[in-house]
Amino acid sequence: MIPRSFPVLAAALIPATAGAAGYYLPNQDAFATAKGNAWVATADSAAAVHYNAAGLTQLEQAEAQVGVYAINLGHTFNNGGGDFEAKSEWQYVPSIFYAQPIEDDLAWGFGINSPWGLGTEWGQGSPFRTVITEARLAYISATVALAYDITDTLSIGVSGSGNYADLTLEQGLGIAPLDFLRFEGDGTSYSGAISLRWQPHEQHAFGLNVASDTSMDLSGKVYSNILGAGPADIDFVTPLRIAGGYSYRPAPGWNVEANIEWLDWDSLNSLYLRSPSLPGGAIGVPFHWKSMFIYEAGVSYTMDNGYAFAVGYDYNSNAQPDTFFNPSVADADRHWFNAGFGRKCEDWGWFIAYQFGYSNRDVRGALPTAAGQSANGKYEGRHHSVSLSANYRF
């Protein structure tokens, strides 16, 4: 029989990510990243497929873009008994976007990217090994987008995505040294988005993007060096996401922009882990997260010779209450400082961006596991990322 600590594995469902936004990965374009992801009102490249599909009508020729976001997560924990660090490793998130005008007021685009994911490995030596030892999420979205100019100043965009998620979770059981219970599963879902871009004046633009929530059933198995193996499946969700932004161009080459993003984590109430080995066949695990905001601001300047520079800042508010805190997320109020440079030539361009993120959080009142361990303590996050995008216009 699987021990009472098994349901905690479902509570570890949310793998750690780069920001304090659950498992959301907002950084899908190097230029946008350098501006603190304040880009929804600009959205003037093929990456608009993700940020704001309505912006695709600004393109005058076909454009292809490839990029990679590389991040090293630095998580440290202290509960009075010494410092414990999660494994330090670089993780890579690639992206591909393509967009093409169909006629003067109509355009389409396509993208393959990872808007959710990453992972963290704490290992068997932490004081909370029966809460989580490792959590990893690989998430891929394939998106088709269409944009249309309703008027000379207002455009609308719609998109549809097919999504694939592959989840790995592991925790100790607390029965014997180095024991473990591991879940591996995958599944698919569909999602959509609708967006608007309004530019009433050449110096002012507004953008809005609403991306739907998703729900999928990840099917796989659980296995253990103590308990053996068996089939299992678990619910997985991504929340409704709304992003709005304003862009101001005070002088040629300059763009000052601000965004607010909202993620409906309130919808993450309880998830269900199902297995024939469980009493009753299923166990519901309460999360009770709270919806949160991301505040983003950035400034960019493009010179006459095409060289471009950008700086930005974004603040991610915490979505995870102390009671249901899990180190696989290590969520906290987090600050990101961003900067980058690149060049926009006639037919091609490139951009590179760097991010530094930090957070401090003191967790009190986290629920213990059946083995008596909890995630209470002080957490520090010190993260570094580099992103690179390159595009070519046909």
Read off the pLDDT of residues 116-125 as tens digits, 9 standing for 90 and up.
988 888 888 8
Q: Please provide residue 10's backbone torsions phi and psi, each rounded to the nearest 5 degrees.
A: -65, -35
Q: How far apart are CA 282 and CA 34, in angstroms?
A: 44
Position 152 scores a pLDDT of: 95
Q: How many Cβ atoms sit within 10 Å of the Cβ of residue 304?
A: 7
Q: Is the pLDDT of residue 142 over 50?
A: yes
Identify any residues that bridge with 255 across adjacent strands, giving them in sequence order. 300
CA distances from 305 to 34, 66, 83, 301 (A): 20, 23, 50, 12
Name the nearest CA neighbour of 118 among 26, 183, 222. Answer: 26
DSSP one-letter code for 130:
T
Q: Please provide residue 322's backbone torsions phi and psi, each rounded to the nearest 5 degrees.
A: -55, -40
Read off the pLDDT of residues 339-363 as tens digits, 9 standing for 90 and up.
999 999 989 999 999 999 999 999 9
Q: Specify the range with the lowest mean pLDDT, choosing from 179-193, 210-224, 234-248, 361-375.
A: 361-375
Q: Is the pLDDT of residue 8 over 60?
A: no
- Averaged over 199-225, what is the pLDDT? 94
Q: How far apart are CA 198 and CA 104, in angstroms?
A: 17
* Residue type for position 254: W
Q: Quick one: pLDDT band at residue 326, thresholds 50, 70, 90?
A: confident
Q: pTM of this prediction?
A: 0.90
User: Which residue's entry shows tokens 């091609």?
Assistant: 348
Position 255 scores a pLDDT of: 98
Q: Quick one: pLDDT band at residue 283, thresholds 50, 70, 90?
A: low
- Averaged over 213-220, what is the pLDDT? 92
Looking at domain 7-393, does it have CATH number 2.40.160.60? yes
* Residue type for position 262: W
